[in-house]
Structure 1
Amino acid sequence: MQTVALIVRPDFQVMSLAALSAFEFANIAAEKKLYDIHLLSEHGGLVAASSLFTSVSTQPLDHAQFDTLLISGAMDRSSASPAINAFLIEAYAHSRRVGALCVGAFALAEAGLLDGRRATVHWARAPEMRQNFPAIKVEEDRIYIVDGKIWTSAGMSAALDLTIGMVEKDHGPELARKVSQHLVLYHRRAGGQSQHSAMLEMSPSSDRIQMSLEYARKNLRRELSVEELADAACLSARQFSRSFRAETGISPAKAVENLRLEAARLMMEQGRHSLEAVASETGFGDRERMRRAFLRVYGQSPQSLRRSFGPVVDAF
């Protein structure tokens, strides 16, 4: 049985606790106790979360050795205490892995554990980390990153992706899939996946435009003309084009390209498909058309982007 501990500090984001659900449901899915879970704080006792009505009972920091040690961040982004920094350094020496949830990465940075490493954090905090800790290779456009025995995640729900990734590392993809099913997740996001979603960024207000985007997402291999998308929205082509641009700020053709780019990038992050297969499955048709789109939007070719995913995929 593996021991997992999460350090919380006053004003911690309560979403951090959800990340522990991956280990809890791994025990349930495996029908045996694979993980023994602990909550820690500097002094033990009740620790208040950022929510006005939430406090959790914790154990004090001691010299117990944990297989996996995680640290959450404080909503006010206050620095970790010297005692917590010292505990993190000790844990790094003795634990199999150390992880940070969202802005908990700043505590690892303050302890010097991220120097010279790749790390991620919530996109809104990435400039601050890059400025204050220039020795860290900050990659804000990642769900989570594994560099050696250090795991860091983006904000909020990405912490759960990180812990499910840990379950997969420990016990294989089948158990990770069962955990995702128990948690009613649409799919488990790979570590290298972007923090941003094309669907979320467009966020149309009307059901009809949302229907057309969902239709496009499910049918990327088709040509997806304006007429076809308008039919999915039950609008005329002219009315659809006008409404689409008004609600999303871009044309239907640009929206489809964004969805294709996102789908292609995800397929490449998974590392199991040739570029020809990626181009075909996502509706680009051929590698050259896909390459031009990648250069225009990402500033690099699919081959270059795929190479940048290598260390994340290899971590599994």
Structure 2
Amino acid sequence: MAKTLGRSPSRFLRPRTVALLAVANAQILDVTGPLEVFGSANRCLIEKGLRTVPAYRLHILAERAGPVTMNNGLQLVATRAMRGRKEPIDSLLIAGGSGVREARQDEKLIRWIGQAARSARRVASICSGAFLLAATGLLDGRRATTHWEDCAWLAREFPDIRVEPDRIFVRDGKFYSSGGVTAGMDLALHLVEQDWGRAVAVEVARSLVLFLRRPGGQSQFSPHLAAESGREAIRRAQRHILDHPEADLSVPALAAVAGMSPRNFARAFLADTGTTPAKFVEQARIDAARLRLEQSDAAIESIARGCGFGAPERMRRAFHRHLSIDPSSYRKTFSSTLETRHDRASAQL
């Protein structure tokens, strides 16, 4: 049975340590989200008969073992202190959160991260945890990302890092960095797939009721996440765009939906959302097309028309601008309905 998953269980026989560093006032999902992915991988591998013991040994690290207060007031228990650990760290993950600003000033912490990162097989920052990893100097000359709100700050603070603000996660050598909060789960799924293959990653995604891992090149900021305007007229136009990507979404048409003149609408939309109507529309159409590519077997031409692009070539150019991939390749690599994905995974299992 092991061979049917495409990866031999002898890929690594002994459990590997995944250690997630959580400073005080870390973002709780930066900690629990990625660890749950690795924990689900452990369960999946044992249930499928690929292992008799867990593949990953999971630890939360902190300055000292014991309770660590998260930025929402809840506490998690660190199972190990950073110093004095016995087993080597295979994968070092660094959580972000509001506590990162203060933690950056802790020279001993930064020195420990640098030492641990140099000896680990792979190192990943989650969200604003990138600032702690960047402070070690190990990201200088490398590509990285963080939460979209903090990318400009990361670029200013660390000009030697090539910050990629429009990515779910970025890999440069053994160093990984992810966008905001739940993007850490996308990154963790990617790491599991590296170790155990796509079929296992699919099963883990299904068990967590997640979409199959988003590509690292996919934008972490979409119109669905954009802060709504304070003006009801602009909110009405936003909802119309998201609900009807195939419609006429020109400025005059949207101004009519909002009950404003085209000139006033364009100005108000930019002031309230920070982007132009045209850019918002294009991203909304890309999001709609992406979901249809992932969740249906509809023809590319049909999706292009249904999402307002008209010609497939226009959709292809938009995908290249925003996702650096063409629609056909996107579908082939990241797509299909949950049932189809389950059928493929079951065939491999």
Tell whether the 8 Å contact from 1:10 to 1:47 is kept in structure 2 after alignment: yes
Amino acid at match of 2:94: I
Query: Match for 1:138 among 155, 163, 170?
Result: 163
Q: Secondary structure at the match of 2:226?
A: helix
Moved more, 71-80 or 152-161: 71-80
Q: Secondary structure at the match of 2:180?
A: coil
Name 1:230's counterpart in structure 2.
none
Name 1:169's counterpart in structure 2.
194
Amino acid at match of 1:10: A
CA distance in 1, matches of 2:153, 2:314: 37
Q: Secondary structure at the match of 2:324?
A: helix
The verdict on how the C-alpha distance between 1:202 and 1:180 changes in structure 2, with shifts beyond 3 A counting, is same
The verdict on how the C-alpha distance between 1:56 and 1:109 changes in structure 2, with shifts beyond 3 A counting, is same
Query: Match for 1:241 among 242, 257, 271?
Result: 257
1:24 aligns with 2:24: no
Deviation at 1:148, TM superposition (A): 0.6
Instruction: State how many pairs are aligned.
Output: 283
CA distance in 2, matches of 1:114, 1:175: 30
1:181 aligns with 2:206: yes
CA distance in 2, matches of 1:238, 1:123: 27
Tell whether the 8 Å contact from 1:241 to 1:252 is kept in structure 2 after alignment: no
1:52 aligns with 2:68: no
Specify every segment of 5 or more residues in structure 1 that has no aligned partner in the other structure, as ranges.
227-236, 269-274, 295-300, 308-313
Q: Secondary structure at the match of 1:64?
A: coil
Name 2:27's counterpart in structure 1.
13
The verdict on how the C-alpha distance between 1:280 and 1:117 changes in structure 2, with shifts beyond 3 A counting, is farther
Specify every segment of 5 or more residues in structure 2 that has no aligned partner in the other structure, as ranges.
1-14, 271-275, 294-299, 326-332, 334-349
Deviation at 1:201, TM superposition (A): 2.6
Q: CA RMSD in A?
A: 4.1
Q: Secondary structure at the match of 1:170?
A: helix
Deviation at 1:239, TM superposition (A): 12
Query: Match for 1:3 among 14, 17, 29?
Result: 17
Moved more, 67-76 or 283-292: 283-292
The verdict on how the C-alpha distance between 1:88 and 1:253 changes in structure 2, with shifts beyond 3 A counting, is closer
Amino acid at match of 2:109: I
Name 1:70's counterpart in structure 2.
93
Q: How does 1:1-316 map to 2 (within 5 A)?
A: 1-18=15-32, 19-30=34-45, 31=47, 32=51, 33-61=54-82, 62=85, 64-76=87-99, 77-78=101-102, 79=104, 81-201=106-226, 216=244, 224=247, 241-242=257-258, 249=269, 257-262=282-287, 284-286=309-311, 288-290=313-315, 294=318, 302=320, 306=324
Q: Secondary structure at the match of 1:191?
A: coil
Deviation at 1:64, TM superposition (A): 3.4
Identical columns (%): 37
Q: Secondary structure at the match of 1:125?
A: helix
The verdict on how the C-alpha distance between 1:291 and 1:202 changes in structure 2, with shifts beyond 3 A counting, is farther
Q: What per-residue deviation string (whole Å, max 9, x for no partner) do you get for residues 210-267 of structure 1? A: 9866664xxx7xx5468xxxxxxxxxx9999347999x95999986543323456789
Tell whether the 8 Å contact from 1:193 to 1:266 is kept in structure 2 after alignment: no
Tell whether the 8 Å contact from 2:242 to 2:284 is kept in structure 1 after alignment: no
The verdict on how the C-alpha distance between 1:256 and 1:74 changes in structure 2, with shifts beyond 3 A counting, is closer
Tell whether the 8 Å contact from 1:120 to 1:152 is kept in structure 2 after alignment: yes
CA distance in 1, matches of 2:133, 2:255: 53
Amino acid at match of 1:306: S
Q: Secondary structure at the match of 1:20?
A: helix
